[in-house]
Amino acid sequence: MQGTNDNEKLAGLGDVLIIKINHLKDELARQQALPPEAERIDPRKYTLFLDDMEVKKLYPIGLDPEQGSLHFKLTRTDESKDVWGNLLAGQHSAKTPTKASVGLEGKMPLPNGQSFTLRIYNPVLLFFGVALFLVALVLFVQAARTKSILRDSGPPKPPEGKFRPYSLARVQVAWWFFIILASFLFIAFVTLDFDTISNSSLVLLGIGTGTALGAAMVDANRRTSSDSALATLVPRRDELAIAVERLQQEIKALEEKKTANHNELSISDELQLNNWKQELAGKQAELKQLNSQVADVASALDSPTSDGFIKDILWDVNGLTFHRFQMVVWTLVLGVIFIWSVWKKLVMPEFSETLLALMGISAGTYIGFKIPERQSAPTTTTPATTTPDLSSPQPPTQVGL
């Protein structure tokens, strides 16, 4: 037998393996002497066996009767993926001893198989693939820490030196992207097969992308609806604040007049004072309610800051939430299974429709609960007895209008 290196009989995917068969020349000569109707064995129909496993559909590319040898190009096809997975997957070294033989399709291999060294992977190619992946990962992690690539798209920019919280939806997209990228590079540089993306890989990446888009739409709609609500509530609140201040000034003036007249007022002034006090109480109650509504709506436009990666993806303003937790758990579980399958079988897994539907439901639940989710807790409202000082008018509170 010969491989790419005759001295150590080393061969791997992409190489030509030469297997010598005892008495092949004599057998071919004998068959030539048989009558035309006699059954013949065509050596070109032999398939390769590695460690007694048939590499299906792998026929000789050449035949040398003088040397009594068959030439096989070691390639990985859809029919032989399982065999190559058993030979190459889960190996910790670059080479492994292997026995080669030939035989008829679907039959037992010929006895006295020949040993050679099977190259599991090309160290140079694999090092290049690992280096390429690590460079991409390090650059991405650095960008994720200092830029907004994995953070919520809104609301307004946080204070100087602070960052928005990490977005669970964007983190999920990044998770699947890098798992699929690493799997693709690993399989490609070990098997030289660049057509390995499975349907489940596309579905998982699609679910992650759809979740991120849905979360971005929820954030955008929240900002739009909040801006619209504030455009109505804020002017009404400011009008009430001015009306309350005016009534307080009117009441104060009458009470000063009453004090100056030894606690006596005319009947009309007394009635007017009582009416203003009743009107003031009503407007103060309405102002308190409007302040509460404005604070509630404005919380959707607040600028929360990051509390750390884990808290950002699992917590909202109400604390640890189950819809976020279950989405993180299922994403981690499927990711680990994905990586294990690639390592053990050298193929990207095909998950069942039920499992993919579960991931879709998990993502949908997250989007559904995100719609009413606050950005931050509402700010403390102005007490009903307190009104702004209109002697030096202040601009309305900036809430994102």
pLDDT digits (tens, 9 = 90+) for 234-270: 898 999 899 999 999 988 888 888 888 878 778 888 8
Residue 279 has pLDDT above 50, yes or no: yes
Cβ–Cβ under 8 Å, residues 140 and 182: no
Start-to-end C-alpha separation, the chain? 79
* CA-wise closest residue to 87 among 51, 123, 48, 112: 51
Residue 7 has pLDDT above 70, yes or no: no
Cβ–Cβ under 8 Å, residues 216 and 154: no
Residue 158 has pLDDT above 80, yes or no: no
Task: Return the minimum-mean-pLDDT range out of 81-85, 272-276, 333-337, 391-395.
Answer: 391-395
The percentage of residues in the chain with a pLDDT greater than 70, rounded to a whole number, is 87
Structure tokens that stand for 105 in this block: 């399709």
Q: 39 or 232: whose pLDDT is higher?
A: 232
Given this model, what pLDDT does residue 391 score?
A: 37
Task: Return the minimum-mean-pLDDT range out of 79-88, 293-302, 322-331.
Answer: 293-302
pLDDT band of 160, cuts 50, 70, 90: confident
Residue 378 has pLDDT above 70, yes or no: no
Q: Cα–Cα–Cα angle for 366, 367, 370, nearest 5°? A: 85
Cβ–Cβ under 8 Å, residues 25 and 65: yes
Q: 26 or 154: whose pLDDT is higher?
A: 26
Residue 161 has pLDDT above 90, yes or no: no
Cβ–Cβ under 8 Å, residues 242 and 260: no
What CA–CA distances, in Å, run from 396 to 91, 306, 355, 388, 393? 68, 28, 52, 10, 9
SS3 category, 302: coil
Half-sphere exposure of residue 157, counting CA atoms within 13 Å on the CB side? 4
Encoded amino acid at 11, one letter = A
Q: 174 or 234: whose pLDDT is higher?
A: 174
Given this model, what pLDDT does residue 300 score?
A: 63
The percentage of residues in the chain with a pLDDT greater than 90, rounded to a whole number, is 39
- Average pLDDT over the chain, rounded to an integer: 83
Q: What are the tens digits of pLDDT across the range 329-348?
A: 999 999 999 999 999 889 99
Q: What is the pTM of this model?
A: 0.73
Cβ–Cβ under 8 Å, residues 54 and 47: yes
What CA–CA distances, in Å, run from 137 to 112, 310, 391? 49, 19, 58
Average pLDDT score over residue span 361-383 = 69
DSSP state of 110: P
Task: Return the minimum-mean-pLDDT range out of 54-63, 197-206, 317-326, 335-344.
Answer: 317-326
Distance between CA atoms of residues 118 and 100, nearest Å: 10
Tell me the domains of the chain and their CATH numbers.
Answer: 10-22+35-119 (2.60.40), 168-225+304-370 (no CATH)
Task: Return the minimum-mean-pLDDT range out of 147-156, 334-343, 388-397.
Answer: 388-397
Average pLDDT score over residue span 46-53 = 93
Distance between CA atoms of residues 32 and 268, nearest Å: 135
**β-strand 114-119 against 10-12: which pairing, if any?**
parallel
Average pLDDT score over residue span 45-72 = 91
Given this model, what pLDDT does residue 370 score?
A: 81
For residue 102, the cross-strand partners are 48
pLDDT band of 400, cuts 50, 70, 90: very low
Residue 12 has pLDDT above 50, yes or no: yes
Given this model, what pLDDT does residue 5 score?
A: 47
SS3 content of the chain, % helix, strand, coil (to 5): 55, 10, 35
Q: 4-8, 215-219, 353-357 — which one is most confidently predicted on average?
A: 353-357
**β-strand 95-104 against 69-73: which pairing, if any?**
unpaired
Distance between CA atoms of residues 179 and 232, nearest Å: 48
Given this model, what pLDDT does residue 393 score?
A: 38
Cβ–Cβ under 8 Å, residues 161 and 137: no
* CA-wise closest residue to 7 among 89, 116, 135: 116
For residue 96, the cross-strand partners are 118
